[in-house]
RNA sequence: GCGCUCGUAGCUCAGUUGGAUAGAGCACAGGUUUCCUAAACCUGGGGCCGCAGGUUCGAAUCCUGCCGGGCGCACCA
């Protein structure tokens, strides 16, 4: 028995009562069952609209007839009452029996089964995400991509796909030259011994600003600035050529500094609990990209235009020419993307290829996929771009010129400090430093990941550090974690009083006593749990983690209400204790598992 | 100009195969601790779902047009 099987059980009873003309089998009926708007109305509602046409009857009439048919069944193990309410048939279950199908599997460590016929199951999927540039800063904006990609990896794995989590690091290109130029032109003294990746990013920003200033001043007539700008550009070309030619003077410096960034990324991923199966580097597809241009120019797929090489894609009307080699003979981002795609297809036999990249690149990926198709890669059909909107700050977009970029380390430290000052300081006498640090880490992750994932992909996110670390409750990661901690704490307290969940109840062999779990708050919580597997399936199928986040929040909210209204431990009736312990245990398992799919740890105490 | 995207409560947002009286959080006003974590719970006020048409038993949801914000459109990544 799986925790998502309750609807199926109900459908088994209901389906035979529906006239055959409607053409609904058990699965179809189960799929139609929805939660009623209020828990008091029942555990499930069956909408009769779909049957109206086939049965040539009005939905309210069908609902009434079905209610009568269920009443005629007489005593029934699962459905207590069936009440027609307009076009809906509301089904109220014997709660203790429903619990045996719903709560016991959760409590017993079972997980929902997802249909193997779904589009996303039994497939080998590559998800490319994160893709930071070396020699540049890693900031809150990068966190959205990281959280989203990681969550999709977890969701697709949970729903039956084999996933290759891939990263694609930007270790070559003009930004590297800018940074290395800045290093020699603007920096005096030795690099720091700590956090050198971050420092490199700051050098890059400084260089970018300086170059922009010279460029602007030059254009405004400042000849000295113009000369400096030209000289710097020439120097950057030299640096790039030196790296490419493997001139030790440049190549070694590049490798050394590149490693500083890579080390930093490693630390960030470790802190975030993110792991990659395969890391690609731009530097490894640079040359293959250019070779590929020659190859497909010779084949006539690509064409020359104004000294550059590209492909005509008139299908994309507003940007019909897709450039793949500049007139100076060098490649572009797009060139490397084609070579990378080919590498992915050849190295892994993937059935689906997902690119998590911000929404501004959507035209770019239309071009890439269309071009791949014209190059003869049928796998282009399997490629999809998952776009998402930007992360902004309360005072607008992040910019190094404005100096309002929040780098990863600052994010981690400020969030931690803020959470400690707001909340965790009260544990200083009670907990060890290590315990507090662990909790701070967990709750920081909850705040960041939930904040990044609870909003739809195509909504902008405003990152306001003060708000994100102000855990006054409400709709946030900490609320979900708090509920996990409350369930854990309650179960420990129960155990200390000698109250443990009966093994037979937990396994579902035995139902709890009739009449238990009928309080409104108990029903509400059960309904939130009923809806969880569907939310996971929908989130995975549509690649939108926010759907899962809102259902997890609904579970947390329902639990808080339950714990407020239904005392678990201070009960005279041991059967009530059993029923409620089952509910708490199931909630804990469901919620912590759901959180794990979002990449958020579930603390035992907080 | 072309394309993508957003527009729902004072603010931030859910609402996706069209379905019950459009929901949360924050903010605001009130209430709840001899009792399992008050980071909680309850109650209340608050809405021409951007505008106008259309499709039908039924539209925040689908179609068309318009208005307003954001983003993208050849040698950057």
Residue nearest to nucleotide B14 (CA to C1'): A550
Rounded distance in angstroms from the CA atom of residue A344 to the C1' atom of nucleotide B14: 37
Domain that holds residue A89: 5-93
Full 3-state SS string of A140-183? HHHHHHHHHHHHHHHHHHHCCCEEEEEEEEECCCHHHHHHHHHH
Three-class SS of residue A453?
Answer: helix
| DSSP classification of residue A572 | S
CA distance A222 to A213: 11
In angstroms, the CA of A55 and the C1' of B18 are apart by: 20
Note whether residue A209 is domain-resident: yes
**A431 and A564 belong to one structural domain:** yes
A54 pLDDT exceeds 90? Answer: no
Q: Is residue A324 part of a domain?
A: no
Which of A228, A255, A272 is the last residue before a domain boundary? A272
A115 assigned to some structural domain? no
Residue A98 tokens read as 């429903």
Residue A564 CB in 7 A reach of strand B: yes
d(CA A462, CA A395): 9
Mean pLDDT of all residues in A257-271: 98
**pLDDT, average across residues A382-396:** 93
> What would the two tokens of residue A402 be?
């404005």
What backbone torsions phi and psi does residue A16 show, to the nearest 5 degrees? -65, -20
Q: What is the 3-state secondary structure (H, E, C) of A196-255?
A: HHHHHHHHHHHHHHHHHHHHHHHHCCCHHHHHHHHHHHHHHHHHHHHHHCCCHHHHHHHH
Distance A215 CA to B72 C1' (A): 24
The answer to whether the C-beta of A170 is closer than 7 A to strand B is: yes
The CA distance from A435 to A72, in Å, is 59
**A70 and A194 housed in the same domain:** no
CA atoms of A134 and A266, how far apart (whole Å): 12
Q: Pick out the nucleotide with least CA–C1' distance to A458.
A: B5
* A93's tokens: 């279950």
Question: Are A486 and A591 within one domain?
Answer: yes
Q: Which structure tokens are listed for A271? A: 């802190």
Give mean pLDDT, residues A273-296.
Answer: 97
Residue A357's nearest nucleotide, by CA–C1', is B77
Q: Is the pLDDT of residue A241 over 80?
A: yes
Is any atom of nucleic acid chain B found less than 7 Å from the CB of residue A474? yes
Residues A504 and A413 in one domain: yes
How far apart are alpha carbons A13 and A22 in whole angstroms? 16
Helix (H) or strand (E) holding A292: helix A282-298
Which of A250, A272, A294 is where one domain is finished?
A272
Residue A564 CA and nucleotide B42 C1' are separated, in Å, by 10
Question: In this structure, are A415 and A563 located in the same domain?
Answer: yes
Examine the pLDDT at A53 and tell me if it is beyond 90. no
A428: buried, middle or exposed (CB in 10 Å: 19+, 13-18, 0-12)? exposed
Question: Dihedral (C-alpha) A192, A197, A199, A202: value to the nearest 10 degrees?
Answer: 170
* Distance between start and end Cα atoms, chain A: 33
The mean pLDDT of A50-62, rounded to a whole number, is 86
Chain B: positions less than 7 Å from a protein CB are: 1-6, 12-17, 19-20, 23-27, 35-42, 57-58, 71-77
Q: Residues of A107-145 as b/e, b for ≥16 C-beta within 10 angstroms? A: bbebbbebeeeeebbebebbbbbbbbbbbbbbbbbbbbb
Are residue A413 and residue A540 in the same domain, yes or no? yes
Which of A238, A272, A306 is the last residue in one of the domains?
Answer: A272
- The per-residue pLDDT of chain A, averaged, comes to 93
% of chain A exceeding 90 in pLDDT? 85
CA nearest A170: which of A351, A357, A379? A357
Residues A600, A577: Cα–Cα separation, whole Å: 30
Query: Which nucleotide C1' is nearest A566 CA?
Result: B36
Mean pLDDT over A64-74 rounds to: 92
Contact flag, residue A388 CB and nucleic strand B, below 7 A: no
C1' (B1) to CA (A400) span, angstroms:
33
- Cβ contacts of A201 within 8 Å, gap of 6 or more: A135, A136, A137, A138, A179, A261, A407
List strand B contacts in A 68-127 (CB < 7 A).
Answer: 85-88, 90
Q: Are residues A545 and A430 in the same domain?
A: yes
pLDDT at A121: 56
Whether A316 is covered by a domain: the verdict is: no
A85 and A191, same domain (yes or no): no
Structurally, how many domains does chain A consist of? Answer: 3
pLDDT score of A265 more than 60: yes
Q: Is residue A82 part of a domain?
A: yes
Q: Which of residues 260-319 of A touch strand B (CB under 7 A)?
A: 282, 305-308, 310, 317-319
Does the C-beta of A423 come within 7 A of strand B? yes
Residues A492 and A594 in one domain: yes
Residues A198 and A407: beta-carbon distance below 8 Å: yes
Is the Cα dihedral A405, A408, A410, A411 positive or negative? positive
Residue A36 belongs to a domain with what CATH number? 3.30.1360.70
Which pLDDT score, from 0 to 100, does residue A119 have? 52
Indicate whether A356 belongs to any domain.
no
Nucleotide nearest to A37 (CA to C1'): B20
Cβ atoms < 10 Å from Cβ of A168 = 24
Residue A1 has pLDDT above 90, yes or no: no
Element (H, E) at A308: strand A308-312
Residues A88 and A175 both lie in one domain: no
If 0-12 CB within 10 Å is exposed, 13-18 middle and 19+ buried, where does residue A151 land? buried
pLDDT confidence bin for A113, thresholds 50/70/90? confident
CB count, 10 Å around CB of A546?
17
Cβ of A419 near strand B (under 7 Å)? The reply is: yes
Q: Are residues A76 and A186 in the same domain?
A: no
Whether any strand B atom is under 7 angstroms from the Cβ of A455: the reply reads yes
Q: Are residues A555 and A412 in the same domain?
A: yes
Assign A116 a pLDDT band (cuts: 50, 70, 90).
low
Residue A435 CB lies within 7 Å of the nucleic strand B: no
**Is residue A475's pLDDT more than 80?**
yes
In the predicted model, is pLDDT for residue A590 greater than 90? Answer: yes
Identify whether A576 is part of a domain: yes
Where is average pLDDT lowest: A46-60, A268-282, A358-372, A378-392? A46-60
Q: Which residue is nearest to nucleotide B2 (CA to C1')?
A: A318
Q: Does residue A180 lie in a domain region?
A: yes
Residue A30 structure tokens: 């189960």
With distances taken from each CA to the C1' atom of nucleotide B18, the closest residue turns out to be A49
pLDDT tops 90 at residue A239: yes
Which positions ≥6 away from A252 have C-beta within 8 Å? none
CA distances from A506 to A499, A511, A573, A588 (A): 13, 9, 18, 13
Chain A residues 25 to 44 whose Cβ lies within 7 Å of strand B are 31-32, 34, 36-37, 41
Structure token pair of residue A460: 């902008």
Integer Cα distance of A40 and A455 in angstroms: 30
A47 nearest nt, CA–C1': B19
This complex has an ipTM of 0.96
pLDDT of residue A56: 82
- At residue A413, the pLDDT reads 96
> Where residue A541 sits, what CATH number does that domain have?
1.10.730.10
């Amino acid at each position: 028995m799986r925790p998502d099987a309750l609807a199926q059980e109900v459908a088994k009873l209901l389906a035979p009562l529906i006239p055959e003309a409607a053409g609904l089998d058990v699965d179809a009926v189960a799929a139609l069952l929805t939660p009623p708007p209020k828990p008091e109305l029942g555990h499930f509602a069956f909408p009769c609209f779909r049957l109206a046409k086939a049965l040539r009857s009005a939905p309210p009439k069908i609902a009434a007839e079905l209610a009568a048919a269920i009443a005629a069944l007489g005593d029934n193990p699962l459905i207590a009452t069936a009440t027609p309410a307009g076009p809906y048939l509301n089904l109220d279950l014997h709660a203790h029996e429903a619990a045996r199908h719903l709560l016991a599997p959760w409590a017993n460590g079972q997980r929902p089964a997802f249909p193997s016929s779904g589009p996303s199951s039994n497939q080998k999927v590559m998800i490319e995400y994160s893709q930071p540039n070396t020699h540049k800063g890693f900031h809150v904006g990068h966190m959205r991509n990281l959280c989203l990609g990681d969550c999709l990896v977890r969701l697709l794995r949970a729903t039956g796909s084999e996933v290759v989590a891939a990263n694609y690091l930007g270790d070559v290109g003009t930004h590297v030259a800018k940074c290395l130029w800045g290093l020699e032109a603007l920096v005096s003294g030795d690099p720091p011994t700590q956090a050198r990746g971050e420092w490199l990013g700051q050098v890059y920003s400084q260089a970018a600003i300086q170059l922009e200033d010279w460029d602007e001043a030059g254009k405004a007539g400042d000849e000295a600035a113009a000369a400096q700008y030209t000289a710097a550009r020439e120097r950057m070309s030299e640096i790039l050529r030196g790296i490419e030619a493997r001139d030790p003077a440049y190549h070694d410096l590049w490798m050394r500094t590149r490693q500083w960034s890579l080390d930093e990324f490693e630390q960030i991923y470790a802190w975030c609990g993110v792991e990659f199966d395969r890391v690609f580097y731009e530097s490894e597809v640079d040359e293959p990209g250019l070779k590929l241009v020659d190859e497909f120019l010779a084949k006539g797929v690509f064409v020359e235009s104004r000294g550059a090489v590209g492909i005509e894609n008139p299908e994309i009307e507003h940007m019909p020419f897709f450039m793949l080699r500049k007139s100076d003979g060098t490649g572009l981002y797009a060139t490397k993307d084609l070579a990378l795609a080919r590498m992915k297809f050849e190295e892994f036999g993937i059935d689906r290829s997902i690119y998590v990249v911000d929404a501004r690149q959507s035209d770019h990926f239309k071009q890439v996929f269309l071009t791949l198709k014209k190059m003869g890669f049928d796998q282009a059909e399997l490629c999809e771009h998952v776009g998402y909107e930007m992360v902004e700050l309360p005072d607008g977009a992040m910019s190094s010129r404005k100096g309002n970029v929040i780098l990863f380390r600052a994010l981690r430290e400020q969030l931690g400090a803020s959470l400690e000052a707001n909340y965790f300081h009260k544990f200083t006498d009670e907990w060890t430093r290590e315990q507090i640090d662990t909790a701070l880490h967990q709750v920081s992750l909850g705040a960041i990941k939930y904040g990044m994932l609870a909003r739809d992909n195509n909504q902008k996110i405003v990152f306001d550090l003060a708000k994100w670390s102000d855990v006054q409750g409400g709709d946030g990661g900490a609320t979900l974690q708090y509920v996990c901690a409350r369930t854990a704490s309650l179960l420990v307290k129960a155990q200390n009083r000698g109250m443990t969940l009966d093994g037979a109840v937990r396994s579902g062999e035995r139902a709890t006593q009739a009449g238990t779990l009928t309080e409104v708050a108990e029903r509400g919580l059960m309904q939130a749990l009923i809806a969880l597997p569907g939310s996971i399936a929908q989130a995975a199928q549509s690649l939108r983690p926010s759907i899962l986040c809102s259902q997890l929040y609904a579970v947390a909210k329902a639990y808080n209400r339950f714990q407020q209204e239904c005392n678990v431990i201070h009960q005279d009736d041991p059967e009530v204790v059993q029923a409620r312990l089952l509910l708490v245990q199931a909630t804990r398992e469901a919620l912590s598992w759901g959180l794990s799919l979002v990449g958020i740890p579930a603390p035992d105490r907080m």
